[in-house]
Every structure is written in C-alpha cells, then in structure tokens.
Amino acid sequence: MYGLRFHTAVFAAKMTKKLLTLTGRKGTTLPGQIALRICPDLLAVYGKILGQRTVFITGTNGKTTTSNLLVHFLREDGRNVISNSLGANLIQGIASTLVEGVDLADYHDQAVVLEVDEATIGNVIAHLQPKAVVVTNFFRDQMDRYGELDTVVEMVGSALKKAPNNTTVILNADDPLVTSIAPEGKQVVYYGIESSQFDATSHSEVRDGKFCRKCGSNLQYSLYHYGQLGFYDCPSCEFTRPTPAVVAEDVKLLQEGIQFNVGSVTGFINSPALYNVYNALSAITASTVFGVQDEVLVREMGYMKTQLGRMERMTAANGRNLMLTLVKNPTGFNEVLKVVEHETRPVELVIILNDRYADGTDVSWIWDTNIERLHQLADLRRIYCSGTRAEDFAIRLRYADLGNITELVEGDIASVEQALRDLPDGHMLYILSTYTSLYNIRDHLLNQGGKEYAPENRASVS
C-alpha cells in the first residue's frame, strides 16, 4: 500500500531493533537511521498515515518531562499513544519511534507525542504535519552543536512557519525569546505563571535574551520567575508578554513537590522545581488542544510525577533516598541548585560531567553556574565528581571554595556506588548528570533493587 521501499525500510529497521535488543542495547536511533537510508521519504509516508494526530514538543529544557506528562494524560483519556519517551529526539530517533510504534494494520486511533530537537524540527515538521507544536523555553545550551542562542531561536521560528496553517502553536508566554517567534496566520495559545512564591522584582542570575528581538531595546521587567522568564515589555515598541490562556497561580513549595492552581483546580507535581510547573502547564495546554476530557485532567493534575531522571526521586537498594536529575546548561543547573537549597536533611552530591557528542563537547557552561550558592547549605558534606570532564568540574568547585569537600572518582557508576555506600542514614544524595550517563545510572540503580520513591508527606515547608 505504501510502496516496496517503505515496507523494506520498516522491515530492516525492525530486524535491527530486535538484534540490538538481544545484545542489551536500547536501539533508539540505529533502526531509524537504516530505515531513512533505505527510504528517504519515510517520515512523509508516516505523516500521511497519521494525519494530524501528532504533537511536537521542542525547546531547550523540559521536552522529556512535558512529553511524558502529555502521554500520561492522553493514555488516561483512553488514547493509544506512541512517544520517544527516552529522549531520542533527532531525526533518526523519531524515525525509530514511528517504525516501532505505528501499527500499519491498525493505526487509525493512534496518537504520537514527539519531543523534537531544536535543530531537527525544521527537517521534520513539513513531513509529519503536527496538530500542535509546544515550545517550552530557550536558554544557552550545547553551543558547540547549536551555535549562539539567536541561531536556535531563529531555527525554531523558521520551522513554525513551515507548519500547516491549522497547526496550533503552544508557547510559553513568560519567555520573550519564545513569544518573539509566534507565527502569523496560525492559532497560538499561550501558557504562563501568574503568581509564585519564587517571584522577584530584581534578578542576579544568568539571563539570556535581555534584548527585544523586534527592535533591539533592553527589555524591562516588573517580575522575574527565573532566568529571563517573567513579566516583561519593551519600552521602545509594542512587544510585551502576551496574556496566557492557561495560567498557574499561587505556586508554592511543599515538602514533596510543588502545588499550584489552574482556575479552580489544584495541581501537584512531585518535583520541587519551578520549571516543572511550566512543563505541567504546557502538557495541560496540549491536552486541551487534543480534547482530553476535563474530568481526566482534573483527576490527573492532583498528582503528577517526573520520571526518567528528571528530578526523579528514588530509593536505592540500601534504603537511602536520592534524587536523579539531568543537567546540561547553566540555567537548568542553577534551578536544580535552588531545589538542593531547600533540602532539610544533610546533603551529599554526585556531579557527573561528560563531553560526548550528545552531552555537548563544550563544557565551558559550568563557569556560568552559580555553584557558589551551595555555601548557603547548612549541612553539605561531600561532592563526588565523575565523568569524562570530572577534573573540570573539580576545578570549578575549587574556585568556588568547595575544593575541600570535593572528591574525584573514576567511573560514573563507581561514583554513585561509593556515594551510596558512604551515605549515612538520614542523609540525602543528589545525583546531577549530563545526558550520556543519566540512563546508565538509572538502569543500574533499578537493576540493583532501587525503586521509585513513594511519597508520604506533602506538608508545606514554606
């Protein structure tokens, strides 16, 4: 029905996936790479098969968490959903996901949620013709791959112009870099945070996008959430924060996560990081575009959880509590440090810094992290550094006057094992890892008998 080349490509990719699985590999990209080599039009064929039952999630931070929350909402609504949940968001990974997930004999009720790399979206959007595209935020990230931030913003903005006219574009109203690329002639829906206990009127953090992308003037802010996210306007032109259709109010920190209100509904996410409120809002907004039933959203918003190493709470096999999280750029790292600051138990850290291609080979971003704020922690006992660039982070810690509690450990798994072995009862371990070690560590923890943490106490600590 779809041509011999297409079916040959799908068959070859599925055989490759089986072989990789037998050898213990996840096979998230190679099957798609082979399929695209055999059938360069593979994605266009899938676009015709799926119609507009696809949603893209793109942006610097939050793609995986937003995707996973949206998949959860859709599945709870009874949908048959395919997604690249492990974050294989380049064109080969997207092809692998579609080959593995789309049932060519029964695809009419299948929906697809895809997180898409910012440099990839322009190559796939015209082929797959998504029903909706979510743009989460823009921060400096992996500059060796993407170049300057303006280049990334422009890439995504150009991609949005290629979307079908009936595609709904869902944008973070609080990020001026995101709202600057709102495409003309398309339905645009905004989400944002209206009030939070973290709000500030002054700002000393790394702030990307200081200038209006319309006229070049310095943006002025009446309120900051974090980074460049907040209430902004341009004093020299009409550019201003748009009014969001979906808003979170009264955001406040609880012991086990964050609570917020969306209209009359109280939402809770089991991660004490403000950025996950944005991830929840974008998933909620996309769910409404896909027609998820109100009663399902209201029920599921009551307890949302982050997984797959995104501020993921776990219990190790020896009973010790830990949090595993991805770090890859200064803004995300600084937000994780804010979470660590709120910890009431004695804290130990494992920081794993790699410079493989998927991590970004340029690790100079560590010098823009506000690691010095760890001095505010009352009881920080030890910091283990590991990864291919462990020495670089150890030097960064030395310049932050934290060298006396820093220990280099060879091997990412070995560093986690040593930290858990030496962690006293009642202490909390935070594992901050760049991308290529994240899933290895998570798999190791689970294989050793670790498990997801079961929340028991949501009492307010603020």
Does the annotation mark 362 as catalytic?
A: yes
3-state secondary structure of 252: strand
Residues making up the annotated binding site are: 212, 215, 234, 237
**Mean pLDDT, residues 115-119 taken together:** 94
Q: What is the distance between the alpha carbons of residues 408 and 390, in angstroms, rounded to a whole number?
A: 7
Give the tens place of pLDDT for each residue, 303-335: 998 877 788 889 999 999 999 999 988 988 998
Say what the pTM is. 0.87
Give the tens place of pLDDT for each residue, 367-385: 999 999 899 887 899 999 9
Catalytic residue among 109, 144, 250, 362: 362
Q: Which amino acid is at 309?
A: G
What is residue 341's predicted lDDT score, i.e. its pLDDT?
86
Residues making up the annotated binding site for Zn(2+) are: 212, 215, 234, 237
Find all residues with CB under 8 Å of 235, minimum gap 6, and list them. Answer: 217, 218, 220
What is residue 228's predicted lDDT score, i.e. its pLDDT?
92
Residue 460 confidence class, pLDDT cut points 50, 70, 90: very low
List, in order of start, the domains of the chain with CATH numbers: 4-302 (3.40.1190.10), 312-452 (3.90.190.20)
What is residue 206's predicted lDDT score, i.e. its pLDDT?
67
Q: Is the pLDDT of residue 233 over 70?
A: yes
Residue 360 confidence class, pLDDT cut points 50, 70, 90: confident
- Range with lowest mean pLDDT among 88-92, 205-209, 216-220, 353-357: 205-209
User: Residue 90 has which token pair?
Assistant: 């380049």
**Mean pLDDT, residues 132-143 taken together:** 91
User: Residue 130 has which token pair?
Assistant: 């998504």
Q: What is the distance between the alpha carbons of residues 255 and 271, in angstroms, rounded to a whole number?
A: 9
Give the tens place of pLDDT for each residue, 15-30: 999 999 888 787 788 9
Give me the chain's average pLDDT, please: 91
**Mean pLDDT, residues 424-437 taken together:** 94
What is residue 205's predicted lDDT score, i.e. its pLDDT?
67
Q: Which amino acid is at 212?
A: C
**Mean pLDDT, residues 176-203 taken together:** 90
Q: What is the distance between the alpha carbons of residues 46 and 128, in angstroms, rounded to a whole number?
A: 7
**Mean pLDDT, residues 341-353 taken together:** 92
**Mean pLDDT, residues 102-114 taken together:** 92
Q: What is the distance between the alpha carbons of residues 349 and 217, in angstroms, rounded to a whole number?
A: 41
Residue 272 confidence class, pLDDT cut points 50, 70, 90: confident
